Homo-oligomer: A and B are copies of this chain.
């Protein structure tokens, strides 16, 4: 039942990624993110500076224990939702389904320490999430066919991404991924209710 032997190539990539992340976290904690350059991280991880950007889109992303394939997972889950399901519900469930993968990641504790020490990182990281949104919008447009048109797809993707971003923005990392999931759930509840001031 376990995945096929990953092979040397995949293993090395995982090691490089882990080394980069470990170096980034350590240096961020030591000197603060602003005083750490990408070159510093790469030197500590033993790879060239150019390689960093084969793994991460931005300096700050090296902090997070999730990576790009998570958005693909969301999109896969989305495709697996029943066609009759209302779009907002489908996105919500797709995101919820990927939380186990999120929880399985190691490195939350380190992430917690850095985010607590340097709250401004949160903003930067949240900004980076916008790249994923267009992937999601395309997937939604495809799924929905003509339902609601392109405006609706874009809006839905934006709203879903906003739900996640808002949750991440106010999340106390020490509550763990379960805490994050609860916030995401609340955000989607509010969206589904039409953003009233109070949830009834």
List the interface of chain A (C-beta within 8 A of B): 86-88, 123, 127, 130, 134, 144, 147-152, 154-156, 158-159, 161-163, 165-167, 169-170, 183, 186-187, 190-199
**Chain B residue, CB-CB nearest to A86:** B197
A192 is contacted by which of B86, B154, B195 (Cβ under 8 Å)?
B195
Q: How far is the CA of A127 from the CA of B161 in the complex (A)?
A: 13
The residue in chain B whose Cβ has the minimal distance to the Cβ of A187 is: B155
Q: Is the CB of B193 within 8 A of A194?
A: yes
Given the complex, which residues of B lie within 8 Å of A198, measured CB to CB? 147-148
Minimum CB–CB distance from A82 to chain B (whole Å) comes to 13
Contacting pair A151 B186 (CB below 8 A): yes
Count identical subunits in the complex: 2
Q: In whole Å, how far is A17's beta carbon from the nearest beta carbon of chain B?
A: 25
What's the Cα separation between A48 and B194 when bound, in Å?
48
> In the assembled complex, how far is the CB of residue A158 from the closest CB belonging to chain B, in whole angstroms?
3
Q: Which residues in B have their C-beta under 8 angstroms from that of A190?
A: 148, 152, 155
Do A159 and B195 form a contact, CB below 8 Å, given A134-B123, A151-B166, A186-B151?
yes
Known: A148-B198, A151-B169, A155-B191. 5 other contacts (CB 8 A): A87-B195, A151-B183, A154-B166, A158-B162, A191-B194
